[in-house]
Amino acid sequence: MSDLETVQAEITACRRCPRLVEWREWVGREKRAAYRKWEYWARPVPGFGDPDAKILIFGLAPGAHGSNRTGRPFTGDASGDFLYPALYRAGLANQPLSRHRGDGLELRGVYITAAVRCAPPANKPLPEEIRNCSSWTDLELSLLRQVRVYLALGRIAHDALLEHHGLRKGAYPFAHGCEHDLGSRVLLSSYHVSRQNTNTGKLTAPMFDAVLERAKALAGLSSEKG
C-alpha cells in the first residue's frame, strides 16, 4: 500500500473520541436493524480522491446516514447529491453520482476529507473532537504534496485549516468565496453543501460552480470540462 493508503486504513480503526464512537456505532446498529437492505460503515471515514490532487476539498464531518453508511465522503445523502454533480460539471470527476465505494467514481485533481472523520450527534463535533482528529489532517496533508488550494466547506472547516497552519481566525475571516493566501497554499471557502443551505438557496449550483472554477484557476488546472 502507498503511504496515503496506510493512513486511510489507520483512520478507519481510530477510536479516540468515545462520544463519536458510541454515536456512529449506535446509528449503524439501529438503522441496520430497521432497514435490513442497508449495511452501515459505522467507522471513521477516510479521505477519498486523487493522491496527486492540487485541490483539497475540506468538509465538516460525515453525515450519520450518508458517509457513516457508505464509508465515502459526501456519499449517500443530499450533500453529495449536490457536490459530485458539480465536480463532474467542472471536469473534476468521471461521473456525476456517488452512490457507494465500488461505483467506479474517480476524482481528477481533487482529494476530499474533513475536519472530523466520524459522524457527530446533530452534526456538531465538539472542539476537543476536532483537535483529536487534527493529527489525521496533519498526516493526510503531509502526503498530499501537490495540493495548492484548500476549498473549505463551511466555517468550521475553514477555521480547522487555519488552526492546522497555526493562524489566527480573526485575521482570515470566513465568507463565501473568500480567498486567503497562506503562503504555499491558498484557502478558498464556500458555504457548506448541506441540504439546509442548498434547499434554502443560500448556496446555489451557479454559486458553487463559480467557486470550483476559481479553485481550478488558483490550482493551475485546465478550464476544460469533463
Q: What is the pLDDT of residues 69-90, one digit of tens each?
A: 999 999 999 999 999 999 999 9
Answer yes or no: is pLDDT of 224 > 80. Answer: no
Predicted confidence band of residue 226 (pLDDT cuts 50, 70, 90): very low
What percentage of the chain exceeds 70 in pLDDT? 95
Count of positions (residues) in the chain: 226
Predicted confidence band of residue 45 (pLDDT cuts 50, 70, 90): very high
Q: What is the mean pLDDT of the chain?
A: 94
Instruction: Give the Cα separation of 129 and 117 in Å (integer).
Output: 10
CA atoms within 13 A on the CB side of 8: 19
Sign of CA dihedral 134, 98, 52, 150: negative
Q: How far is CA 153 from its chain centroid?
A: 8
Answer yes or no: is pLDDT of 223 > 90. Answer: no
Confidence (pTM)? 0.94
Laid out side by side, the sheet with 149-153 consists of 48-49, 110-114, 55-59, 149-153, 186-190, 179-181
- Taking residues 8-19, report their average pLDDT: 97
Answer yes or no: is pLDDT of 95 > 70. Answer: yes
Q: Tens digit of pLDDT for each residue in 99-149? A: 999 999 999 999 999 999 999 999 999 999 999 999 999 999 999 999 999
Instruction: Give the Cα separation of 177 and 187 in Å (integer).
Output: 10
Instruction: Give the Cα separation of 89 and 180 in Å (integer).
Output: 25
Report the chain's C-alpha Rg in angstroms.
Answer: 16
Answer yes or no: is pLDDT of 197 > 80. Answer: yes
Which domains are delineated in the chain?
3-163+176-219 (3.40.470.10)
For residue 26, give the 3-state DSSP assignment: helix
Predicted confidence band of residue 21 (pLDDT cuts 50, 70, 90): very high
pLDDT of the residue at 33: 53
Residues 6 or more apart whose Cβ sits within 8 Å of residue 16: 132, 133
Specify the DSSP class assigned to residue 115.
S
Determine if residue 181 is left, alpha or beta; phi over 0 gives left, psi from -120 to 50 gives alpha, anything else beta.
Answer: beta
User: 84 φ, ψ to 5°?
Assistant: -70, -35
pLDDT of the residue at 32: 63
Instruction: Give the Cα separation of 50 and 196 in Å (integer).
Output: 28
For residue 150, give the 3-state DSSP assignment: strand
